[in-house]
Chain A
Amino acid sequence: MVTSRTSKTSWIIATVLVSIAVLVCLTPLIWMILGAFKRNMDVIDPTKLFSLDFTLENMRHLLGSKDFFDPLWNSLTLTGGSLLMSLAFGLPAAYAFARFRMRKASSIILVIRMIPAMTFMLPWFIMFRTMGIAKTHLGLLLAFTVSSLPLIIWIMMPYFQSIPYDITESARIDGASEAGTFAKIILPLSLPGIMTVSILTVIGVWNNFLFVMILGGTKQRTLPMQLMNYIGESSQQWGKLLAAATVITLPLILIAVFMQKYIVSGMTSGAVKG
């Protein structure tokens, strides 16, 4: 063990510094959640920074209003839909690239990941208008799918490559088709990788703001978009804003707490392979 050589002093320094870092990471989010359950006056009252006169007023107000519920529904459906579409396009492609050694694919994907999303906004806007899918869910789904594909292929390619060739070979000797082998043998073996890319895709779509602002209409408003509207309309009602922010962040907190290892492995695999 590397750690067995740690001296007492450096252990103390490490504990103090890392604890501070952990606190710094958590404090803004704790402040947000506390604020969401405070009365509006208490949020901005410095003497009540940590006191909690618990109220559900903000939440009840927020969740009861239609102008919050529609964006919540849009966020959920767009995220779910984009996830299914991204996997449907991305997994077979990643498998084809991995299995049939299309080596150039990975460098092209790296280049695509570097392109700022702003590049696509006007062309997509015009394309969608021509195709008649401007300001529709379908247009946004397409945009999210395209933007998720590079990451899915990037992470899944080495994953598929790491599956021993013997396994697919023996399946084929038993008379299974290529497509059947992929669906019945490869995919189940790759579940952890699929979890990782699914989680990263969900986070990316849930957090997206730019695409929705430019390509979506009033009927496609998602939660981050609606939060920006609230900031514009009622910038003084911190209780309401923090309640909305808490609802947006809650699924992400759950993902971070319960599926942390998938996020970490997704990032590290991208980094080590790069």
Chain B
Amino acid sequence: MLRWIDKRIQYFFAAPAILLTLVMIAYPLFYSVRMSFFDWNMSAKVPEVWVGISNYLGLFKDQMFLQAVGFTVLYCVVAVLFEALLGISLAIFASKLRRGGTLIKTSCVLPMVTTPIVVGMLWKMMMDPAIGVFNTILGAVGLPTSLWLTSTATVFPSLIMISVWMGTPMIMLIIMGGITSLSNECYEAAYVDGATEWQVVRKITLPLLRPTINVALILKMIDNLKTFDIIYSSTQGGPQNSTINLNYMIYKNLFEYFKVGKASAALVVFLALVFGLTLIMIALNKRSEVT
């Protein structure tokens, strides 16, 4: 008996995880898609009612949803852009330093691992318009102070700052890892041919890093699309609902308004958005490899 099991050990090893995944991931996915065609207020007494695609049609007339889609995409694009620019350039600069590698890596790891709820709270405190550190320092050196997270005019760049603080280190670390793995031969050849440092970065380092950069961007893009905790602990979607992203909008519709159908339809759109954007990034990646 034991030997019979041992010969088929791969199935016994894989089965628990596969079973767990089927029950806890595949079924909920199916459930969410199904509920997007129903109307239900989460009450056990009132059963769900089939409404066809009217949840989807309703979404496209819903101001909050349209704003959430816009915010999600804009936030993701701007955040990833800044994180990529900063992360890549800092990684290249860091690779020029012979010492301090451990200090740099540890400092990078810290913002990545700090609890997002704590990060949101810390930045909200530092950005407090009345007693926050930022305005204190700005005031002390004679610069105009800002309303930071509390005004619709400044909340977007303020949130981006938080995201950049949390997200840049990961890109920087991945690229630093990529740079260490590059071989030195092509560099030597370039320097022998009299290339300048800047030329070497532009013509050799960056093209060789292309696949690594792409992966880092895709990972960061997915993270930024799914942002929830830092918004919850810093703005709670405010001021005037201006920072509600798709994830937050779905949360509110599920657990505050109990509109399961609408939330599920929004979830399906959200899933499509995440998958769609990722596939586009992967496709761009492949095309750049071919050319």
Chain A contact residues, CB within 8 Å of chain B: 1-3, 5-7, 10-11, 13-15, 17-18, 21-22, 24-26, 28-29, 31-32, 44, 46, 49, 89-90, 92-93, 95-97, 99-100, 102, 111-124, 127, 142-143, 145-146, 149, 153, 177-179, 182, 203, 206-207, 209-210, 214, 223-224, 227-228, 231, 238, 241-242, 245, 248-249, 252-253, 255-257, 260-261, 263-264, 267-268, 270-272, 274
B25 CB to nearest chain A CB (Å): 6
Chain B residue at smallest Cβ distance from A117: B226
Q: Give the dominant DSSP class at A's interface.
A: helix
Selected A-B contacts with CB under 8 Å, 9 pairs: A3-B97, A5-B191, A28-B126, A112-B21, A119-B267, A241-B121, A260-B102, A263-B112, A264-B105
**8 shortest interchain CB distances as A-B pairs:** A123-B28, A93-B17, A92-B13, A46-B136, A96-B13, A268-B177, A14-B93, A96-B14
Q: Is the CB of B274 within 8 A of A6?
A: no
Q: Which residues of B contact A209 (CB under 8 A)?
A: 115-117, 229, 232
Q: Give the dominant DSSP class at B's interface.
A: helix
Contact count A vs B, C-beta below 8 Å = 263
Chain B residue at smallest Cβ distance from A9: B197
Known: A116-B267, A206-B115. 10 other contacts (CB 8 A): A22-B104, A25-B165, A118-B267, A120-B28, A122-B264, A123-B27, A149-B21, A227-B118, A231-B233, A271-B215
Q: Is the CB of A92 within 8 A of B14?
A: yes
Q: Which residues of B contact A112 (CB under 8 A)?
A: 21, 25
Chain B contact residues, CB within 8 Å of chain A: 2-3, 6-7, 9-14, 16-18, 20-21, 24-25, 27-29, 31-32, 35, 86, 89-90, 93-98, 100, 102-119, 121-123, 125-126, 131, 133, 136, 140, 165, 168-170, 172-174, 177-179, 181-182, 184, 187, 191, 197, 200, 212, 215-216, 218-219, 222, 225-226, 228-229, 232-233, 247, 250-251, 254-255, 260, 263-264, 267, 270-271, 274-275, 278
